Amino acid sequence: MKALVTGATGFVGSHLTRLLSETGYSVRVLYRSERKLGVLAGLAVEAVAGDLDDIALLERACADCDVVFHAAAKADYWRDDDRDALWRVNVDGTRNLLTAAQSARVRRIIFTSSASAVGIRPGREPADESDAFNLPPERFWYAYTKQQAEAVVGEFVTEGLDVVTLNPTVIIGPGDLNAISGSFILETARYQWLTPMSSGGLAVIDVRDVARAHLNAVERGRSGERYVLNCRNISYRDWFTMIAAACAVRPPILSMPDWLLEPTARLIELLRALGISTPMDADQTRLGGAHVYFDGGKARRELFSPEVDIETSLRDTYAWYEGQGAIKRDWLTRLIGLF
């Protein structure tokens, strides 16, 4: 089979491209930056330079492909406030890609969405695919763009296009060049027991399981359906304790009370307005007291069962960053480690 992968030099896309190559697919990749093609070194892929705003180029990229994996997205949303760019890539780019795939008569499209496009439930109850997005769009713009991209998918499915949507939770694992979720490891390795924790929790899955779910969705996924990909729901206290163990540092001891989250979020907004970067954005901070948990049962029944446990994933992630020279051991890290 022949496949096109958009976002092939990204975190999910690179793992997916490698898996497709290893399982006998003929792979064509769409890329924007030639300097990032190194992540695909050694793979026999056809590389096409281009962007999601060029429908004619996308049609040529989709030509003769049996399946298209649309993994391209702007995901490092907390590092800047360019909402237009988020919309242009995540929503308009998805529409352009589906238009091209439809014109090229691609048999099936696997769309990489996000669990952030799924609604969250109160307390510690895990949400599932039936929960509609319920966060304020103006505060959670990235999640809103992914939800709107899913709405675009719905339009094409109504017209007869075969699209399966996957909604990964927080993705961890080796190869996260842009430190999207890898920032958890990098910050904990540096600040160790001083890393602040909040009272909530998150859902997490290894990138290699996400890639495998994409592959299985080609034959097992149902058109028009969405599938939450999740391995484990974890409180932040347990999460950071696990990360500290993977980094071989003392676990964090500082807990941020819930009442402090909103003032902290406002301070972050002020700092960003002044042009000062912060490791987290205000929206992430506001969710710090929520248990953003998800039920991945539907995907487990129909697509795959996660194989990489989170402890292993964290150790592999730390080892990969250490091999890349990304683990900082400056005077601050050494000083913290003395206490």
Q: Are 235 and 243 in contact (CB under 8 A)?
A: no
Q: Which residue has the tokens 């030099």?
A: 9
Element (H, E) at 271: helix 261-273
Could you tell me how far CA 200 lies from the centroid of its own chain? 19
Q: How far apart are CA 226 and CA 313, in angstroms?
A: 25
Nearest Cα neighbor of 15 from 206, 167, 219 is: 206
Neighbours of 49 (CB within 10 A): 13
Could you tell me where the beta strands, DSSP code E, fall in 84-240?
108-112, 163-168, 170-172, 201-206, 226-229, 232-235
Q: Which residue has the tokens 């995901």?
A: 75
Residue 146 is among the residues annotated as catalytic for this protein: yes
Q: How far apart are CA 184 and CA 321, in angstroms?
A: 12
Q: How far apart are CA 19 and CA 208, in angstroms?
A: 9
> How big is the CA angle at 331 (ends 327 and 334), to the nearest 5 degrees?
70
Neighbours of 44 (CB within 10 A): 8
Q: How far apart are CA 170 and CA 232, in angstroms?
A: 10
Four-residue CA torsion sign, 95, 99, 104, 110: positive
Q: Which amino acid is at 142?
A: Y
| List of residues 6+ apart from 275 with CB closer than 8 A | none
Nearest Cα neighbor of 67 from 16, 116, 11, 32 is: 16
Neighbours of 99 (CB within 10 A): 17
The encoded tokens of residue 60 equal 């040529």
| Residue of 36, 146, 298, 328 marked active site | 146
**Active-site residue numbers?**
146
